[in-house]
Amino acid sequence: MGRSLLGSPRPDTRETQVVQQARAVATRRAIVEAASAEFIEHGFAGASIADIAARAGVTKGSMYFHFKSKDLLAQAVIERQREANAELQSRFAGTDLSALAVLVSMVRVLGELMRQDVVVLAAMRLAVEVPSGDDRGPTYDAWGAPTREVIVQAVAQGDLRETVDPDVLSRFLVAAFTGLQTASFASSRLVDLPERLREMWGLLLPGIVAPGREHLIPDVLLRS
């Protein structure tokens, strides 16, 4: 392509490489987004490679070049979720908010991400589907670890009770969030998720906030 009209093809020029690479990245992204939409609509088992290719507007050959199997597509979706988690953490890294405020805000932003980014939403849907022989446990761990870290800080800052076990609370939050988004997806396609998250914090905070720090609850709830 490129110079072919002017003489012999020069596929190895730097310019051509850059264009090709950008095109490959765009195609790959289109495929991952199409796969996400298909996973959300039909589940992992119900999604077909052919439908994903059709939705992305790519040929079978291009599809096979980028992703050799549906499993690899699911991995790419879950990888995007990991990136979103990392972005989410770095977003709150330099903040002067209390760890408790960060905890509540992070959960809210995760809910927002699910509503905005079809790939993040698909990762969540994949996490609640457990096909045989495929352990999605690591997905839960990926959410649990950063949550745990913030909880440890909130206990150290004296905002959460000393009796709160960071392992227990982080594990519970991840599972409860999974359930809330699942129920909210079923009832309203996530429209009511923010309200459901706020209700969760309203029930949880009085039991986990340290004695003497109850006055923080109204402000923290505003961040939920």
Amino acid letter, residue 123 = A
Token reading at 124: 């969540």
Decide: is 57 part of the binding site for a second copy (CB under 8 A): no
Decide: is 154 part of the binding site for a second copy (CB under 8 A): no
| Interface with a second copy (CB under 8 A), residue from 19, 25, 26, 175 | 175
Q: What mask of x and - would describe binding to a second copy in positions 13 to 42, judged by CB under 8 A?
A: ----------------------------xx
Decide: is 142 part of the binding site for a second copy (CB under 8 A): no
Decide: is 183 part of the binding site for a second copy (CB under 8 A): yes
Question: What is the Cα–Cα distance from 180 to 37, expressed in whole angstroms?
Answer: 20
Q: What mask of x and - would describe binding to a second copy in positions 184 to 223, judged by CB under 8 A?
A: xxxx--------x--xx-xxxxxxx---------------
The answer to whether residues 33 and 23 touch, using CB atoms and an 8 Å cutoff, is no
Burial of 217: CB neighbours in 10 Å, binned 0-12, 13-18, 19+? middle
> Helix, strand, or coil here: 160?
strand
* Cβ closest to a second copy, residue 79 vs residue 165: 165
Residues 64-123 interacting with a second copy (rule: CB under 8 A):
none
Token reading at 76: 């790419």
DSSP 4: G
Contacting residues for 49 by C-beta, under 8 A, at least 6 apart: 63, 69, 70, 73
Decide: is 152 part of the binding site for a second copy (CB under 8 A): no
Site residues for a second copy per CB under 8 A: 41-47, 127-132, 135-137, 139-140, 164, 168-169, 171-172, 174-180, 182-187, 196, 199-200, 202-208
